[in-house]
A and B are shown apart, each in its own frame.
Chain A
Amino acid sequence: MRTAFIEELCELAATDKKVFLLCGDLGFSVLEVFADRFPDRFMNVGISEQNMIQVASGLALEGYNVFVYSIGNFPTLRCMEQIRYDVCYHNLNVTIVAVGAGYAYGPLGVSHHTTEDIAMMRSIPNMLVAAPGDPWEAKLITRYFVQNPGPGYMRVNKAGELAVHSTCGLGAIEPGSLLPIKEGVGTAVVSTGAILDLIVSQLDAKGLRYGVFSCPFISRLDSDGLMGVLKRYNQVITVEEHQLSGGFGSFFLEEINRLHVAGLIDEFPLVRRVGIPDIFQGFAGTQDFLREKAGIRI
């Protein structure tokens, strides 16, 4: 996913001279392709995330379309207030890209487990939150953020993810869309982020004929799309590699509740949320091990 991001950013930066990339001394062997091609629009600000977001804000005030790249909690939780006040209150063109979503850096320990970022980021006004489900989504969401102004946050896994959408011929992704992966009966599984591939394979292994959707933006859910899903399915399972409190499942429940209160859906569907049950996992483990240990399974 990180490769899909940087390749797309390079391609767009070739024609969009406003694209600027900052990193906080992370991104070795990933960002060089951009730094070498566009040295006048790249800067490593050092290991100083508060300042990185502030510098990004200053550049954005002067017209740049700034992308900020770092690992998980560092460009998010570490500098939360800079994101809130400098980027989001001023509604600036700053997109934060965090690599290592969920347990992607599993063995590195809790410092690198990015498991509360969705809750934090989606609580800030003006912030558009995205979690691509595969490299295709990462590429198209990058394009969306380059082409549309305003604050953004994209959490990406790392490297080597399978292309779930390889045969779908995705053209563009708009915020709020529910991307169909497979049709099914009774239950709709709605997933955000890179857990998508694992969920599809778990369903196949169990022979469950559930419908599957990827929901790459955790903001501005499209009401018509959601109503369409709820017409066809009477149960929903949300899946995320993130803690349950305040995350994607909470977001989805709030959206269903919004429709229900507005009288747009007749029945409130049964919703089961799959995610991390608000715990730290202080032991070492691969991403798959920690996902399983947290109970992220259908």
Chain B
Amino acid sequence: MRSIDLARSVRMKALELCFTKKASHIGGAFSIADVLAVLYSEVMKIDCDKPSNINRDRLFYSKGHACTALYAVLDEVGFFKDLNLMEEFTSNGSFFTSHVNHRLPGVELSTGSLGHALGVSCGVAVAAKRQNREYQVYTIVSDGELDEGSNWEAILFASHHKLDNLTLVVDYNKIQSFGRVEDILQLEPLVDKFEAFGWDCLEVDGHDHHAISKALIHRGKVRVKPTVLIAHTIKGKGVSFMENNLLWHYKSPSEEEYVAAKAELEARL
């Protein structure tokens, strides 16, 4: 599937999940949908029939609250063939919790508590090097969770140990739980911070598939550093009334909003 089509399906499915199951975090799901679509359609070496294949590329999704986007993409690319995402999501007894759960195929790590996945990714990247394995490790963090000190411990660590098999994507949508990142705890100058910590730092428009793909695939062949891709994104991207609006960190769409949002996403076909 082309990444652009996959991203559209992911947004549609995430919207439907948030509407039918009254779930939150549609804004953060929409902001990362394009990056996920590019990773799963063009970048990562994965086989949905062998989710534990030792040589697969690994994705660690630290922003576990934006689960609908990850579940949607895994569903679209075939990891949930034996499950029914739309029916089971958040249902009693199902592993489709609304923070991502490793008890589902294709999910490497349960997250939801912020600031965990990058450090775990570092351990996985070290293991790959010590075991001479070729797989790549991708980690997606939200901007707000860069407030967590544990992330900066891991950022120091990855650089010191030259984890060039590790790529971090920051979903920089500039809005966290209570408001704008710059008002709550300023991350800028973020590029300078990563570079000072010894990372290769790339900035892209996080909704430009060509740019994301180019950055992820064609980054320097000879690398001795971990890479961070700062993806400038828009919270709620794809639905005009959800974009850049803090409310959609929390709110699930009403029927009218669902219909309107669906119409907007379909109009972009």
Contact = CB atoms under 8 A, between A and B. Distances in A.
Nearest to A45: B157
A272 to B, nearest CB: 40
A62 interface: yes
Contacts of A90: 102, 109-110
Contact of A62 (B124, B150, B156, B160): B124
Nearest to B129: A40
A46 B157 contact: yes
Contact of B123 (A46, A50, A54, A85): A54
A59 B161 CA distance: 14
A91 to B, nearest CB: 10
B126 interface: yes
Interface string B93-125: 000000000100000111001011011111111
B257 to A, nearest CB: 33
B156 A46 contact: yes
| Interface size grouping (class) on chain B | 20 to 34
Interface residues of A, number: 26
Interface string A20-52: 000000000000000000001101011010110
A82 B109 CA distance: 12
B141 interface: no
A53 B123 CA distance: 9
Contacts of A57: 119-120, 123
Contact of A61 (B108, B118, B156): B108
A105 interface: no
Given A55-B119, A85-B113, A50 B127 contact: no
A289 interface: no
Interface in A56-90: 56-64, 81-82, 85-86, 89-90
Interface of A: 40-41, 43, 45-46, 48, 50-51, 53-64, 81-82, 85-86, 89-90
17 contacts: A48-B157, A51-B122, A51-B157, A54-B120, A54-B123, A54-B150, A55-B122, A58-B119, A58-B121, A59-B124, A59-B127, A61-B120, A62-B131, A82-B119, A85-B110, A90-B102, A90-B110
For the complex of A and B, 3 pairs with smallest distance between CB atoms: A58-B123, A54-B119, A62-B127
Interface of B: 102, 108-110, 113, 115-116, 118-128, 130-131, 149-150, 153-154, 156-157, 160
